[in-house]
Amino acid sequence: MGAYCNDDLNMPVYSAGAPTNELRFSKHVYDNVHGNIYLDPLCLKFIDTEQFQRLRELKQLGVTNMVYPGAVHSRFEHSLGVYWLAGETAQKLKNFQGMELDIDKHDLQTVRLAGLLHDIGHGPFSHMFEREFLPKVMSGCEWSHESMSVKMIDHIVDTHNIDIDAQMLKRVKDMILASTEFSQLKSNAEKRFLYDIVANGRNGIDVDKFDYLVRDSRACGLGCNFQFQRLTETMRVMDNEICYRAKEYRNVHKLFATRADLYRTVYTHPKVKAIELMIVDAMVKANDYLGISTNIDDPAEYWKLDDTILKTIEIAPDQELAEAKDLILRVRRRQLYQFCNEYAVPKEKIEHFKAVTAQDIVCSQKHTSLTLKEEDIAVTNVKIDLARGRENPLECIKFFKVHYRLSVLYTIISTLYLIDGFLVQDYESEEKFVIPEERVSHLLPTTFQDMIVRVYAKKPELVEAVSEAFENFQVRTYGIKAQVHETPEKKKRRVM
Q: Pick the last residue of a domain from 254, 270, 286.
A: 270
Residue 291 lies in a domain: no
Q: Over its length of 496 residues, how does the chain's per-residue pLDDT go in tens digits?
A: 444 444 433 333 334 444 555 556 678 899 999 999 999 999 999 999 999 999 999 999 999 999 999 999 999 999 999 999 999 999 999 999 988 999 999 999 999 999 999 999 999 999 999 999 999 999 888 899 999 999 999 999 999 999 999 999 999 999 999 887 444 555 557 899 999 999 998 889 999 999 999 999 999 999 888 889 999 999 999 999 999 999 898 899 899 989 999 999 999 999 999 999 999 999 999 999 999 999 999 999 999 999 999 999 999 999 999 999 999 999 999 999 999 999 888 888 888 889 999 999 999 998 777 889 999 999 999 998 776 666 777 888 999 887 655 444 444 444 343 334 333 344 456 688 887 766 655 555 666 788 999 999 999 999 999 999 999 998 888 776 655 565 555 555 555 5
Same domain, 427 and 486: no
Count how many domains the chain has: 3
Its domain, for residue 115, covers: 5-270
Q: Pick the last residue of a domain from 219, 247, 270.
A: 270
Kindly state the helix (H) or strand (E) to which residue 495 belongs, with its residue range: helix 488-495
CA distance 393 to 408: 42
Sequence-distant (6+) residues with CB within 8 A of 8 are: none
pLDDT at 416: 40
Residue 312 lies in a domain: no
CATH number at residue 440: 3.30.70.2760
Same domain, 51 and 160: yes
Same domain, 125 and 183: yes
* Active site (catalytic) residues: 145
CA distance 217 to 224: 6
pLDDT at 333: 97
Task: Give the dihedral of Cα atoms 281, 282, 286, 287; nearest 10 deg.
Answer: -40
pLDDT at 366: 83
The pTM of the whole model exceeds 0.75: yes
CA distance 429 to 78: 36
Residue 311 lies in a domain: no
CA distance 487 to 290: 39
Task: Determine the straight-line distance between the first and last CA of the chain, rounded to whole angstroms.
Answer: 53
CATH number at residue 113: 1.10.3210.10
Angle, to 10 degrees, between the axis of helix 105-117 and the axis of helix 75-101? Answer: 160
- CA-wise closest residue to 244 among 401, 10, 430, 64: 401
Same domain, 256 and 376: no
Same domain, 236 and 383: no
Residue 103 lies in a domain: yes
Residue 64 lies in a domain: yes
- Give the pairing type, strands 5-6 and 402-406: unpaired
Per-residue burial over 242-279, b if 16 or more Cβ lie within 10 Å, else e, is bbbbeebbebbbbbbbbbbbbbeebbbbbbbbbbbbbb
pLDDT at 16: 44
Residue 168 lies in a domain: yes
Q: Pick the last residue of a domain from 255, 270, 285.
A: 270
Same domain, 404 and 356: no
Same domain, 167 and 205: yes
Same domain, 403 and 453: no
Same domain, 216 and 245: yes
Same domain, 137 and 169: yes
Same domain, 154 and 215: yes
CA distance 217 to 210: 11
Residue 207 lies in a domain: yes
- Give the pairing type, strands 241-245 and 449-457: unpaired
Same domain, 165 and 253: yes
Sequence-distant (6+) residues with CB within 8 A of 122 are: 55, 58, 75, 129, 145, 148, 149
Residue 331 lies in a domain: no
